[in-house]
Amino acid sequence: MGLIYFIFFWIGASVFSFVNVLIYRVPKKISFVGGRSFCPSCKTSLKPYDMIPVFSYILLKGRCRKCSSKIPVRYLFVELFGGILAVQCAASVPLDESGAGIYLLKTVFLLITGALLTAVTFVDIDTMEIPNGFVLALACLGAVSLFLFPEVSLPMRVIGCFAVSVPMLLLTVLIPGAFGGGDIKLMAAAGILLGAKLTGTAFFFSVLAGGVYGIYLLAGKKKGGKDHFAFGPFLCLGIWAAICWGNEIIGWYLGLLP
């Protein structure tokens, strides 16, 4: 299994190298489909050996080969994170009687979902906006998951689409600025992916993590009571936590009830 995990690590790092492209290009309205990768500073097209995940950053010592401008360490972090996430996906999907084909499909599906959530996270941090294209992509993944994970029924997915997003919308109407439009649409798409039960769990995780971060900002006087911060990253964290551990946590909680 060690070799398999090693292969998945490099697949994940490669996929998340493309995530870096999305994070940079999507907010700037630059096409991510065609065109060579380039240095943001000198615009020099990168050679294939400059784009080897993880290794190229280390060998170049975090600088452009042409102009010696610093390459943000985020690029390395995202690629390493992608590799680790791919290993987690491969380890979390059971290889049972459904066969290797279904195992690979589910693993790749989870990896793509994690990649999309990562792109949403960093774009929201940079711009305080969640692109509609990312929301649509998550909704499409939700539609695909109906076939890969049929244990979550279509009616529960439809309910999930509205179970959290509608209360978020109503709260925003009552308290302007409570949530951004992108946050609301993201949770609607997440409902299609997760179903009603796990969507609620995802939102609980998000509010918990976001609340802790908000307290930290207030305690450190880095934000005022009326200031805003990107909530999308916490929604993405909650969605991923629900995917990985949601059912177990719900089962644990129900076991505590008399």
pLDDT at 58 > cutoff 60: yes
Sequence-separated contacts (24+) of 90-93 with Cβ below 8 Å: 90/4, 90/5, 90/8, 91/5, 92/244
Q: What is the pLDDT of residues 42-53, one digit of tens each?
A: 888 888 888 899
**Average pLDDT score over the chain:** 91
Q: Give helix 165-174 / helix 154-163 axis angle, nearest 10°.
A: 10
Q: What is the pLDDT of residues 174-230, one digit of tens each?
A: 999 889 999 999 999 999 999 999 999 999 999 999 999 988 888 876 665 556 789
**pTM of the predicted model over 0.75:** yes
Assess contact for 81 and 56: CB atoms under 8 A.
no
How many residues appear in the chain?
Answer: 258
